[in-house]
Chain A
């Protein structure tokens, strides 16, 4: 409890644009405004066919509601600031990077290969240095999952350099 109070005080001492509540509220509002603008590009149903409200009306109302509530949480946070979150460790950024690597490999090379690379990468970055365990998470387990989905669910994985060899 004392720690939380301390973290809150630390947050209050920062200029407003560095505070989490400002940054989070700003991001939500900016995204909501962008989406709100998008709703004006939705097709409009001609009055003769329109029954009830236009397709854009409901999302518009939701986005306005989100913006209003976000302003409200920001206003409340000026009175009762959020606690300062700890800095994220390197392992977090590496895991995030592994997601990106997964996306690139699954799009360009192979879906199955992407799973293997991510598994080995994450396991290694989280501290696993033993070869057997790296092989277990990176090759043995994904192969089991692949066979299971292939044979039991009859799933066909997207084409790629490894899956093409298997399917041919």
Chain B
């Protein structure tokens, strides 16, 4: 009961409500604009959160996360381009349905299923995050090392690109985290005599570079691309018949999305693809999929929004990001001096339940904004790239500079922008780099501290049941893409 009251706290704070309102609106705009999204948007807004208290800052980031994930559906349905990668599966049926003159119905279903998926996942978050945090009390350094390894091996199956390429990108992310002074011995590593690098490479320049700047370069190759926009008259709530057809799909996808979200490093993109394929597998009319199936939209959208709450579970309970956007939220927590993990649940329940409540409200808010404002948000896609991207560049540069007031950070951002462009061009996803960078310190720190505890005996890792379980899970995660591709070939 106390926790329920704590969750409702944002409703009674005008400041938090204002932050939620702005965050949801901003998240929707980011989600609608192809190439941007909650990860880039969260990274761009991170410097601004320094003017806010920790709870308001994290509420802002989480509301951007929830609304941004939904916003991608608007673009997916109307211009057949996913606003966010998580909305890719929505294009498959959303656009064909819109072509049949039922854009309002498609967006109505996307809005309802996103909201249900989002709320479902917050409930999962409220129940499971404290349980996971309780379990984490049993974790020592070896267990955290094994858990981080499990998180990294999950990169093999994040859905985008080849598993080995994802693992290379993840290893590269960890390598970036080793730049600077070694935390145990203060010995310089990869600093090349540059003083600014002794503090290490910051998270924000890398994220803004890999997401925003590389996307700017990608957009520079697409300036002649023409989108076929479908006009939206009004968004329609699903009919009784649509609800009958889809309620099972929505619930199933909400469960799938929440589960996938909880797995370290996985996120909305994988969740929506699995949610979509499961919707097709269970459907009475699988032949309609890809031609404008309402179940397809419901399956994909419920799953990708359900992944938001799921991904917050390991982020808050263990400090292991559940997705690229939660890696940004994790950075936000650290910048504001909040250390995620079991102690957070014991010492600051008001803070945590405030976040849970805010996510719940954000899901309701984007339903209202989406339902009444989809037509306006759809018009945002009309802003030409030749105006939009130079503006994003100005904000990216100033935002990156502002955190440490360092021009080197801006250069690092541009370097990662160019690198990210070529990575994507040759099939390397940039998400593993972010996850690797975030987990790098944890992996190396816990490994070295464990070896000190074990007196250098590596085999001791396998004598601890929880660590051993994570290592076995890591092997399964590595084998999974192989099994999946063999099954696919059959």
Asked whether any CB of chain A lies closer than 8 Å to the CB of B165, the reply is yes
Nearest CB in chain A: distance from B44 CB, A: 11
Most A CB contacts (10 A, CB to CB) among B224, B405, B418, B426 go to B426
- Which of these, B184, B393, B452, contacts A119 with CB under 8 Å? B393
The answer to the question of A65 belonging to the interface, with a C-beta cut-off of 8 Å to chain B, is: yes
Residues of chain A contacted by B418 (CB below 8 angstroms): 96, 99
Q: Give the Cβ gap from B371 to chain A, nearest Cβ, in Å.
A: 31
Q: How far is the CA of A65 from the CA of B312 in the complex (A)?
A: 30
Which residue of A is nearest B181, CB measured?
Answer: A55
Q: Does B425 contact A (CB under 8 A)?
A: yes
Asked if B384 is an interface residue, CB under 8 A from chain A, the answer is: yes
Cα–Cα distance between A127 and B226 once the two chains are bound (Å): 14
Give the Cβ gap from B450 to chain A, nearest Cβ, in Å: 8
Q: How large is the interface on B (under 10, 10 to 19, 20 to 34, 35 or more residues)?
A: 35 or more
A16 at the A/B interface (Cβ < 8 Å)? no
Question: How many residue-residue contacts, CB under 8 A, span A and B?
Answer: 156
CB-CB < 8 A to A153: which residues of B?
Answer: 47-48, 50-51, 402
User: What's the least CB distance linking B297 to chain A, in Å?
Assistant: 23
Looking at the complex, which one of A73, A126, A142 makes contact with B386 (CB distance below 8 Å)? A126
For A126, the chain B residues whose CB sits under 8 A away are 220, 223, 385-386, 389
A-B contact sample (13 more), CB < 8 A, given A45-B187, A103-B411: A20-B426, A42-B188, A43-B187, A55-B184, A76-B162, A76-B164, A92-B221, A94-B220, A95-B216, A111-B407, A115-B398, A127-B223, A141-B391
> Can you give 19 contacting A-B residue pairs, CB < 8 Å?
A52-B448, A55-B187, A56-B189, A62-B174, A69-B171, A70-B168, A73-B162, A73-B168, A91-B220, A95-B216, A95-B220, A99-B417, A103-B414, A119-B394, A122-B220, A122-B390, A123-B390, A126-B223, A145-B395
| Residues in chain A within 8 A of chain B (CB atoms) | 20, 24, 28, 35, 38-39, 42-43, 45, 49, 51-53, 55-56, 58-59, 62-63, 65-66, 69-70, 72-73, 76, 82, 85, 88-89, 91-92, 94-96, 99, 102-103, 106-107, 111, 115, 118-120, 122-123, 126-128, 133, 136-138, 141-142, 145-146, 149, 152-153, 155-158
Residues of B within 8 A of A (CB): 47-48, 50-51, 162, 164-165, 167-168, 171-172, 174-175, 178, 182, 184-185, 187-190, 216-217, 220-221, 223-224, 384-387, 389-391, 393-395, 397-398, 401-402, 405, 407, 410-411, 414, 417-418, 425-427, 444, 447-449, 451-452, 456
